[in-house]
């Protein structure tokens, strides 16, 4: 009798375990999205006032996120792309679209992020020098204070300027300021120059002049960046988000849509239309191959990686951006845009 009871007990326990596993599998199957279905219908996106973000403005205005299946889009405003990177690390952003400089820094510091596409190519860093600063040649920069955001693409542009004109980087007085603070400091003569992108650069044109062709020294791309874990857990969501942004990019890049696009972005960014029009070509120059992952993309990342290595910001540089680039999604939605193949896979 004792043996029978034990066997019955074992049978009952086994049955309960099987039922539990079966129920768990049933609920897991019920919770698992169908093929192609979005794993997340609520996303959080970065937004900035420059016209690069006309893509997001247009997509929001025209309801393209809703068409893609997103039920809620939360917008977080930033003044700089590298500041938004902190939000991505904290899990507060679904996608990050910064300049390439902070992407390099973050990846080399062990943060598992991956590039999946390219929103824009925009060499748009303006060195604006106060008209009363007494600067007429590059060497005069030693005698003033220059405001820029450390860790941004502006720092890489300044390094390239130093190399072009044979300056001593150690003799430059650089003040770490976010774009709004740069404007205030320049107006108060606390700094005599700033190195920044529009719209901030245009807001000081009444007291400062663009000098030394700094834009020509830029390697700035704006990649689409996800946390590796996001791509692995939410592949359908990542694909849908990229589809919306590439749809927006194609629409904004079409010059026949420019008048409408400018008005939409001016409204959503709460900026004067005149300012939006003034900085438009800094981000939407028809000569720039926006959206493509090609050899120029590789070379531009390589240029800023070399800067960070030379200045001690990174110790052992990853030789190629393609090592942390995933082109699988782009190969599906815009195969003609993929000129180089990423080496990262989920």
- Choose one of 170, 194, 217: the last residue of a domain: 217
Asked whether residue 207 is assigned to any structural domain, the reply reads: yes
Same domain for 311 and 194: no
Q: Are both 177 and 237 inside the same structural domain?
A: no
In this structure, the answer to whether residues 224 and 110 fall within a common structural domain is yes
> pTM for this one?
0.84
Residue 11 included in any domain: no
Phi and psi angles of residue 37, each rounded to the nearest 5 degrees, phi first: -75, 145
Instruction: Looking at the structure, tell me whether residues 108 and 241 fall in a common domain.
Output: yes
145 and 159 fall within a common domain = yes
pLDDT band, very low/low/confident/very high, at 45 (cuts 50, 70, 90): very high
Per-residue pLDDT at 5 exceeds 90: no
- What lies within 8 Å, CB to CB, of 62 at 6+ separation is none
Residue 86 has a pLDDT of 86
Q: How confident is the model at residue 34 (pLDDT cuts 50, 70, 90)?
A: low
Contact 96/88 with Cβ under 8 angstroms? yes
**Whether the predicted pLDDT of 221 surpasses 90:** no
Mean pLDDT of the residues in the chain: 89
Tokens 């390589």 — which residue? Answer: 302
Mark whether 116 and 226 lie in a shared domain. yes
Q: Which residues pair with 226 in a beta bridge?
A: 114
Residues 203, 231: one domain?
no
Last residue of a domain, one of 217, 251, 286: 217
Is the confidence at residue 231, as pLDDT, over 50? yes
Residue 154 has pLDDT above 60, yes or no: yes
| Non-local CB neighbours of 256 within 8 Å, separated by 6+ positions | none
98 and 241, same domain (yes or no): yes
Contact of 190 with 111, CB cutoff 8 Å: no
Q: Which CATH number covers residue 173?
A: 3.40.190.10
Asked if residue 342 is part of any domain, the answer here is: no
Q: Which tops the pLDDT comparison, 9 or 334?
A: 334
CB atoms within 10 A of CB 285: 15
pLDDT at 12 over 80: no
Q: Sign of the CA dihedral 323, 246, 295, 305?
A: negative
Q: Are residues 102 and 225 in the same domain?
A: yes
Percent pLDDT > 70 in the chain is 90
Compute the distance between CA of residue 210 and CA of residue 193 in angstroms, rounded to an integer. Answer: 10
- The count of domains in the chain is 2
Could you tell me where the beta strands, DSSP code E, fall in 82-232? 113-121, 126-130, 145-148, 173-176, 193-196, 208-210, 221-227
The residue from 217, 237, 258 where one domain ends is 217
On whether both 202 and 294 belong to a single domain, the answer is no
Residues 245 and 114 reside in one and the same domain: yes
Expressed as residue numbers, the domain containing 257 is 42-122+220-337
**Short-list 71, 344, 322, 332, CA closest to 232:** 344
Distances from the Cα of 197 to the Cα of 54, 124, 154, 155, 173, angstroms: 15, 5, 8, 12, 20
DSSP string, 208-232: EEE-TTGGGG---EEEEEEEHHHHH
Are residues 269 and 326 part of one domain? Answer: yes
Q: Which two tokens stand for residue 244?
A: 């919306």
φ, ψ for residue 326, nearest 5 deg = -115, 115
- pLDDT value of position 114: 97
Least confident of 212-221, 266-275, 307-316: 307-316
């Amino acid at each position: 009798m004792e043996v029978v009871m034990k066997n019955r007990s074992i049978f009952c326990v086994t049955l309960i375990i099987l039922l539990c596993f079966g129920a768990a599998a049933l609920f897991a199957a019920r919770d698992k999205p169908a093929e192609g279905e979005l794993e997340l219908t609520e996303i959080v996106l970065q937004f900035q006032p420059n016209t690069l973000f006309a893509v997001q403005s247009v997509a929001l205005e025209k309801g393209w996120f809703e068409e893609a299946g997103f039920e809620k889009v939360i917008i977080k405003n930033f003044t700089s792309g590298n500041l938004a990177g902190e939000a991505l690390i904290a899990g507060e952003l679904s996608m990050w679209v910064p300049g390439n400089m902070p992407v390099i820094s973050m990846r080399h510091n062990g943060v598992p992020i991956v590039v999946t596409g390219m929103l824009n190519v925009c060499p748009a860093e303006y060195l604006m020098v106060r008209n009363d600063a007494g600067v007429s040649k590059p060497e005069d920069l030693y005698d003033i204070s220059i405001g820029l955001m450390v860790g941004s693409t502006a720092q890489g542009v300044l390094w390239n300027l130093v190399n072009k004109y044979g300056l001593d980087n150690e003799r430059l007085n650089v003040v770490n300021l976010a774009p709004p603070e740069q404007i205030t400091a320049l107006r108060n003569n606390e700094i005599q120059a700033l190195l920044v992108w529009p719209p901030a650069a245009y807001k000081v044109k009444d007291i400062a002049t663009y000098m030394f062709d700094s834009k020509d020294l830029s390697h700035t791309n704006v990649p689409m960046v996800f946390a590796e874990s996001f791509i692995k857990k939410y592949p359908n969501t990542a694909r849908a988000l990229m589809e919306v942004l590439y749809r927006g990019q194609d629409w904004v890049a079409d010059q026949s849509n420019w008048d409408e696009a400018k008005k939409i972005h001016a409204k959503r960014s709460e900026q004067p239309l005149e300012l939006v029009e003034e900085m438009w070509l800094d981000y939407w120059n028809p000569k720039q191959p926006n959206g493509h992952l090609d050899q120029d993309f590789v070379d531009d990342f390589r240029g800023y990686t070399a800067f960070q290595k030379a200045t001690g910001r990174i110790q052992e540089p990853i030789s190629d951006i393609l090592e942390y680039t995933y082109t699988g999604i782009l190969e599906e939605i815009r195969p003609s845009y993929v000129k180089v193949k990423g080496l990262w896979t989920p």
